[in-house]
Every structure is written in C-alpha cells, then in structure tokens.
C-alpha cells in the first residue's frame, strides 16, 4: 500500500518538474500584462526569470524614491514584515521579491489610480537575502533592495 | 466563514486598510512530520479590494506570503461610512470576502 502511494507521488512530482522545465527553457511565453495570476512568474526560480515573466523585461533602474521597511535581522524567516513605500508618481504596481527563495517572487500588488504607493505585508524567507521591491511606473521598472539576515529559514524542510 | 478581519480608518483624505486573513498558506514544500509525505500547496493567489465599485488594489500572491496573511495599504477618495470590500481566492478555488465601513 505504502509503496503504491510512493509511486504515484513520484510520478506526480516528475510531472510538475516537466512543467518547471518548460517554463525555464522558455517554452511557455511570458505574459506581457499581468492582470491575471502569473504562474510563470511565481514558479520562476531566479529573480530575472520572475521579472521577465511578470513584466516582459528584467531591466531594473535603481531608485531612491522607493523605501523598504523590513527588519535587519529576522529571527523567524517564516514571518518577515515588509513594507514598501514609493513616491514615484503614477505607479502601476509594487512587487516584492526575496532574492534567494526557491521561487523569489513573493507578491505583486496592482494599485489603482487613487491608491497610494504603499503596501505592507509579511513574507517567508528561506535564508539571508536581499528583499527587492520593484515598482512599475510609466512602463519602466524601478527597484531598491534591503538585506535581511534570517536566523531560522521559513520555507519548508 | 469569517476568514477576514479588516479595518478601514480614514485620516484626512487618506483611508488606511488593514486586513488579516486566516489561511494556512502551505508552500507545497513542507512535509507532514508524522507521515513524511508532502503537504500539498495551498495558498491565496489573489486578493482584491473594492471601494464603490472601483478596484483600489489587486494583490497577486505566491506561497512565500506568511501563514495567516497580513495586508495593509492606503488609498484616497474614500469617505467615512463608505463600504470597502475585500475578497480572496486561493489555488484550490476556495474563496471568501468581507465588507467593512470606513471609520
């Protein structure tokens, strides 16, 4: 009984592996707009892959108009409070990326015209890494990063 | 089902929304400590907040959002007494929504 379960389980994980491969090798075309939840972006295993899938570009421009509020040291990686504030006018979206997570993209917030450039949430981090905030405004991508030291990882295991 | 706790407070022209959602946010990487089998991924994918029929915020989330997610943001154009609606959908198609009035 247990061995049969194990077999189906292995088959299942192989199938998901194949989808992951298709994404990373570019068989699935990245979506330009991201009104819908982007599986490619959230399954991407590196920052550039996630950005390309989300925005169709991974060209980031550093900006001092984005502020990230996050702890310098997070004792528990499963709950890391992150707030992002931006003064960039006409921002369309704010995305939060944990650089060294298995799937770096944590969240992407589409903000309406009357919505201020501010979001606050709590994310999981596998290990010490930069938290990157990406703001899309006027078709360009702006970003800033902040290093967060993680004492106990919060991504499975 | 009351999975959402939400507050909407207005200060001047700016409404601040703070919401807490009860949800396991399983990544699909964790193993059950008793059986050793993986716990399937179960996480909120989309959160939408509406004010007077306008979408003020759409959040797309991955499993890297912490268990029992917290979300806060601000928008202008609200007034005391207005209704704000927050709804979420997860990767299994489960969903919930809640409404509150701006105070």
Q: What is the dihedral of CA A6, A11, A12, A13, to 10 degrees?
A: 90
Low-confidence ranges of chain B (pLDDT < 70): 1
Q: Which domains does chain A have, with CATH numbers?
A: 31-152 (2.60.40.2470)
Fold (CATH) for B4-101: Immunoglobulin-like (2.60.40)
The residue of chain B with its CA nearest to that of A79 is: B66
The residue of chain B with its CA nearest to that of A41 is: B62
pLDDT at A32 over 50: no
Do the Cβ atoms of B59 and A108 come within 8 Å?
yes
Nearest CB to A37 within list B30, B45, B74: B45
Q: What are the structural domain ranges in chain B?
A: 4-101
User: Is the pLDDT higher at B71 or at A112?
Assistant: B71
Report chain B's C-alpha Rg in angstroms. 16
Quote the minimal CA–CA distance from A105 to chain B in Å: 7
Mean pLDDT estimate for chain A = 79
Q: In this predicted structure, what is the pLDDT of residue A143?
A: 92
Judging contacts by C-beta atoms under 8 Å, the chain B residues touching residue A34 are 60
- Farthest CA pair distance, chain A: 60
| Cα angle B47-B49-B50, degrees, rounded to a multiple of 5 | 145
HEC sequence for chain A: CHHHHHHHHHHHHHHHHHHHHHHHCCCCCCCCCCCCCCHHHHHCCCHHHHHHHHHCCCCCEECCCEEEECCCEEEECCCEEEEEEECCCCEEEEEEEECCCCCCEEEEEEECCCEEEEEEEEECCCCCEEEEEEEEECCEEEEEEEEEEEEECCCCC
Residue pLDDT, tens place only, A47-95: 888 899 888 888 888 888 999 999 999 988 889 999 999 998 889 999 9
CB A124 within 8 A of CB A44: no
Quote the minimal CA–CA distance from A152 to chain B in Å: 14
Mean pLDDT estimate for chain B = 90
Quote the minimal CA–CA distance from B1 to chain A in Å: 22
This model of the complex carries an ipTM of 0.90
Strand partners, B21: B4
Query: pTM for the complete prediction?
Result: 0.80
Q: Is A109 on the interface with B (CB under 8 A)?
A: yes
Confidence of residue A6 (pLDDT cuts 50, 70, 90): low
Q: Which structure tokens are listed for A102?
A: 């298995």
Residue pLDDT, tens place only, A38-59: 888 888 888 888 899 888 888 8
Do the Cβ atoms of A121 and B46 come within 8 Å?
no
Q: In this predicted structure, what is the pLDDT of residue A105?
A: 92
Q: In this predicted structure, what is the pLDDT of residue A21?
A: 47
Do the Cβ atoms of A110 and B62 come within 8 Å?
no
């Amino acid at each position: 009984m247990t061995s049969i379960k194990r077999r189906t389980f292995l088959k299942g994980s192989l199938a998901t592996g194949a989808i992951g491969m298709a994404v990373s090798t570019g068989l699935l075309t990245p979506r330009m707009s991201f009104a819908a939840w982007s599986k490619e972006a959230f399954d991407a295993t590196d920052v550039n892959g996630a950005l390309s899938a989300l925005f169709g570009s991974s060209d980031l421009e550093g900006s001092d108009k984005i502020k990230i509020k996050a702890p310098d040291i997070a004792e528990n990686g499963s709950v890391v409070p992150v707030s992002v504030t931006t003064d960039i006018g006409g921002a369309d979206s704010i995305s939060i990326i944990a650089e060294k997570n298995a799937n770096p993209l944590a969240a992407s917030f589409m903000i309406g015209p009357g919505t201020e450039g501010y979001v606050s949430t709590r994310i999981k981090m596998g290990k010490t890494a930069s938290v990157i905030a990406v703001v899309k405004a006027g078709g360009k991508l702006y970003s800033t990063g902040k290093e967060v030291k993680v004492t106990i990882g919060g991504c499975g295991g | 089902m009351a999975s959402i706790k939400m507050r909407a407070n207005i200060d001047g022209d700016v409404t601040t929304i703070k919401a807490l959602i009860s949800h396991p946010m399983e990544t699909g990487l964790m193993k059950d400590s008793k059986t050793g089998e993986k716990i399937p991924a179960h996480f909120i994918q989309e959160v939408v907040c509406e004010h007077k029929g306008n979408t003020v915020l759409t959040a797309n989330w991955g499993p890297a959002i912490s268990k029992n997610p917290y979300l806060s943001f601000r928008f202008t154009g609200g007034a005391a007494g207005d209704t704000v609606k927050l709804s979420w959908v997860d990767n299994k198609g489960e969903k919930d929504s809640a409404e509150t009035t701006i105070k």
